[in-house]
Structure 1
Amino acid sequence: MILPDARPALDYDALADATLVGLVQRGDRLAFRQVMRRCNQRLFRVARGVVNDDAEAEDVVQEAYVNAFEKIATFRGDASLLTWLTRIVLNEAYGRLRQQRPSVGIEQIGATHADDSRVVAFPSKFGNEDPAAAAAREQVRRLVEHAIDSLPEPFRIVFVMREIEGCTVEETAASLELRSETVKTRLHRARRLLRTALHDTLAGTLTDAFPFLGPRCDRMTQAVLARVEAHPSNPAEGA
């Protein structure tokens, strides 16, 4: 009689990266699926920071994952799994960028024009947010994304890794093969460019802040008139 397999199912979500890598190296596709689910957001954002396009970024990440799976036997843990995958994504993204246009020196980069592309939205922690507040938050998010899109690529990718993904200076430098001082300088310039872009965008809307005309104006006017009508004395009589 064949006994049923009594081994408990693996909880891949609870496994450490090193354990997942060991399983993938032995051909466990479910472990690789967990690696992808764990790293997808970082890798998409990194790719998006280079190629500046949602669809292209997805293609970059997919190709990078295939390359990573084929090279998983070479992973030795000298860097974290996420850093290792980030380098593969960056190599793929920069390779496509070089095919699309000639390289430009960092000193020649000027402000670029933002397009209509957007970073895909990930689930918000504000699940029960008021619809009006959610709409306002969405407008702000799109405004910020548009400003980030307008950054020159060398500054944009550093900003994405440091400010959006929360990578350390050292991790960013290692992934991008830059000196730590260069990462700090580019982040400073990215912040300055963003402040300028957002200031220019918002300056024209400041006069529209705290709108009052419309239903609120009518409601307050009617309330005041009702109180005046109910007032015991007439202003003309007291004059």
Structure 2
Amino acid sequence: MKTGSAGTAREYAALDDAQLAACVRNGEREAFRQITQRCNQRLFRVVRGVIRDEAEAEDVVQEAYLHAYQKIGSFRGEASLATWLTRIALNEAYGRLRQRHETLNIDDMEPVAEMDNVVAFPGAHEDPLRMAENAQLRRWLEGAIDALPEGFRLVYLLRDVEGCSVAETATTLELREETVKTRLHRARKQLRSALEDKVTAARGGVFEFMGARCARVTEAVMARIAVLP
């Protein structure tokens, strides 16, 4: 693809998924910058949820973007660009784990308890991420999320951290919607148990990937795209 000059960053920011993908297909590489800026946070969080290593997660996200750029013609808009890219990133992450000879089976988990026994987090929307007021609590929460079974961890990150709908989460992870609901309830219950003595009224997020880190990945991806034929 060639570098295009048909739009500015401001113009690209106003485009929807289909329009951005069309721009990239037409050789406007700067449109892909906008895609990375929209999706960096989600892709990093989900890949980090699989890899559990921040530096390697960044590398996996970059590789996923390169694959996506090269196969942008296969994007049909049946799901959002973020969902499409997340599937690519997950495949890349699992491939990386296979290279490490690690065994993954997200369905090999203990049976899920009845949802009537789930204890809600204190605060609005049962979401502890809204309640993290300092770096120490974020570290506790990140550790508790890392300790979740992978299937629960990915559902929790997409639903409660990224705010994806049940339908989008199910599409991304190739699960039934009822399975998404069940795993989310169980994830919340396990986090409630792990954090019940530590959660206090606070605000914040986990696995943040904004600012300089987001810009670094975007610039690295754009530099690698620039040398593609």
TM > 0.5: yes
Residue 138 of structure 2: aligned partner: 141
CA contact (8 A) 1:24 1:72 kept: yes
- Supply the AA of the counterpart residue of 1:33: R
> C-alpha displacement at 1:68, in angstroms?
0.3
Question: Number of residues paired by the alignment?
Answer: 173
Unmatched segments (≥5 aa) in structure 2: 1-5, 112-131, 200-229
Indicate yes or no: 2:153 matched with 1:156. Answer: yes
* TM-score, length of structure 2 as denominator length: 0.69
CA contact (8 A) 1:51 1:57 kept: yes
Aligned mates of 1:8, 1:182 — CA distance in 2: 42
CA contact (8 A) 1:64 1:89 kept: yes
Residue 176 of structure 1: aligned partner: 173
Aligned mates of 1:50, 1:93 — CA distance in 2: 7
Aligned mates of 1:105, 1:82 — CA distance in 2: 22
Residue 116 of structure 1: aligned partner: none
Residue 184 of structure 2: aligned partner: 187
Residue 29 of structure 2: aligned partner: 29
Matching of residues 65-76 of structure 1 within 5 Å: 65-76=65-76
Aligned mates of 1:8, 1:174 — CA distance in 2: 32
- Supply the AA of the counterpart residue of 1:161: L
* TM-score, length of structure 1 as denominator length: 0.66
Aligned mates of 1:9, 1:74 — CA distance in 2: 25
Deviations 1:3-60 (A, max 9, x none): xxxx885622222222111110011110111111111111111111111111121111
Unmatched segments (≥5 aa) in structure 1: 1-6, 111-134, 204-239
Residue 86 of structure 1: aligned partner: 86
Aligned mates of 2:143, 2:47 — CA distance in 1: 16
Identical amino acids, percent of aligned pairs: 60
- Supply the AA of the counterpart residue of 1:103: L
CA contact (8 A) 2:109 2:149 kept: no
Indicate yes or no: 2:198 matched with 1:202. Answer: yes
When Rg is computed on C-alpha atoms for both structures, the one with the higher figure is 1
Residue 128 of structure 1: aligned partner: none
- Supply the AA of the counterpart residue of 2:25: Q
Aligned mates of 1:69, 1:45 — CA distance in 2: 20
SS of equivalent to 1:148: helix
CA contact (8 A) 1:109 1:152 kept: no
Q: Residues 137, 78 of structure 1: CA spacing in aligned structure 2 closer, same or farther, 3 A cutoff?
A: same
Residue 64 of structure 1: aligned partner: 64
Aligned mates of 2:95, 2:143 — CA distance in 1: 24
Q: Residues 50, 109 of structure 1: CA spacing in aligned structure 2 closer, same or farther, 3 A cutoff?
A: farther
Greater relative contact order, per chain length (Cα 8 Å cut-off, separation 6+): 2
Deviations 1:173-193 (A, max 9, x none): 100001111111111111111
Indicate yes or no: 2:66 matched with 1:52. Answer: no
Residue 104 of structure 2: aligned partner: 103
RMSD: 2.5
> C-alpha displacement at 1:106, in angstroms?
3.3
Aligned mates of 1:24, 1:166 — CA distance in 2: 27
